[in-house]
Amino acid sequence: MMRGLLSVLSAVGMVGLFQPLAAETDEEIDITALRATAEAGDLVAQFDLGILYMDGASGLEPDLVEAMRWHRSAADQGHAPSQNVVGFMYGRGEGVARDDTEAVRWYRMAADQGLAVAQLNLGRMLFHGRGVERDPIAAREWLVLSAEQGRAGAMTFLGWVYRRGVDVERDEAEALRWVRLAAEQGDAEGQGMLGWHYDRGIGVDADTDRAVHYYRLSAAQRHPYGKAQLGYMYMTGEGVDQDIPEALRLLERALAQGNENARLYMGMVQARGLVGPPDLEQAMGYFRDVAALGYAPFTISIGDQFRDGLGVAQDNETALMWYEIAHLQEPDAAEDERAAMMATLGEAEIAQAQQRAQTCITSEYAECD
């Protein structure tokens, strides 16, 4: 079946709802017959034709405006899958000017009809405050509704929320429950996240072998997170025999897919000189890019490199600088790490580290030396 078309369907979360997927090849989709059925008012045919125009499949030229026309036609008549796609297209600005408020409106219509993927999409918009006032409580309610219908993306989102304690009391057992449910469905992201739980002993006894097992399952489905984490294991030799070429292969592929964990790990590769002499300048380029994401666990990992002297000169003041940055990114982050470093430094060094952290952030991570 057409890889591009499957990518479109995966993006809108509706592989199972596209009727022509029963065909094995593009040629078996009769566009003339499908168009006639759509023009006669069949909502499913309108949805299917809209999907084909999104990808330019079956001999059609890609035409997002035409795709939106067909999806909007079905959506206006109450077809929930089309309402979800219309929301998706407004949220991405595809075939129409981007409008997050309109995206939320259409997602809500489909979610109210019980469509699991729309419930997930609405939950995300509410959680992030896109197109609507941020409402984490309502977001979780919609995510739970979606997850209870078996939507793996909602399960992994809930797992992340409970693991991080974002707008909810941190609950490692609840995080593990949702992630495991997703992984048991064969979901690649869920498998990678379950690997992380075993890797770090979050809600479960640490088990490196099981961590590697789930990372492999995730990577085998070409998920960038699974590739990045498996690459890290090969880089460090945790749970596997150390294999730097294999680590680089996996990390480079994950990085090409935009995974930020891979960016952090590539910085570690350069700092530790695993592919030649240590290159701190290049490593710091990776580290600054990762820190600029504002995700404290990444920033803490950078501090750990300086605390432990992993490929860089051991430097408690610089380690503290990175822990201070993590603390500024997320107020509850790096408390133990900061306290440990402060216990080794004098008042002047602590003040210097804190000033350097402020400079790094105010310079938008350009000056983090």
pTM: 0.81
How far apart CA 263 and CA 246 sit, in angstroms, is 16
Contact 109, 81 (CB under 8 A): no
DSSP calls for 202-227: SSS---HHHHHHHHHHHHHTT-HHHH
How far apart CA 206 and CA 306 sit, in angstroms, is 25
CA atoms within 13 A on the CB side of 230: 26
CA atoms within 13 A on the CB side of 252: 7
279 in helix, strand or coil? coil
Q: What burial class does residue 173 get, using C-beta atoms within 10 Å of its C-beta: 0-12 exposed, 13-18 middle, 19+ buried?
A: exposed
Contact 227, 259 (CB under 8 A): yes
How far apart CA 33 and CA 325 sit, in angstroms, is 60
What is the residue type of 58?
S
The residue with tokens 């979901």 is 187
Tens-binned pLDDT, residue by residue, of the chain (369 aa): 344 444 555 555 554 444 444 444 445 688 899 999 999 999 999 998 999 898 887 788 999 999 999 999 999 999 999 999 999 999 999 999 999 999 999 999 999 999 999 999 999 999 999 999 999 999 999 999 999 999 999 999 999 999 888 889 989 999 999 999 999 999 999 999 999 999 999 999 999 999 999 999 999 999 999 999 999 999 999 999 999 999 999 999 999 999 999 999 999 999 889 988 888 888 888 988 888 888 888 899 899 989 998 878 899 999 999 999 999 988 888 899 999 999 999 999 999 999 999 999 999 888 887
What's CA 148's distance to the chain center, in Å? 21
How far apart CA 178 and CA 161 sit, in angstroms, is 10
pLDDT of residue 6: 44
Contact 73, 42 (CB under 8 A): no
How far apart CA 312 and CA 305 sit, in angstroms, is 7
Ordered alpha helix ranges (H), 56-96: 64-76, 80-92
How far apart CA 234 and CA 96 sit, in angstroms, is 45
The answer for 358, left when phi > 0, alpha when psi is -120 to 50, beta otherwise, is: alpha
How many residues are given for the chain? 369
Rg of the chain over Cα atoms, rounded to whole angstroms, equals 24
pLDDT of residue 25: 44
Q: What are the chain's domains? A: 1-149 (1.25.40.10), 287-369 (no CATH)
How far apart CA 104 and CA 123 sit, in angstroms, is 10
363 in helix, strand or coil? coil
pLDDT of residue 14: 53
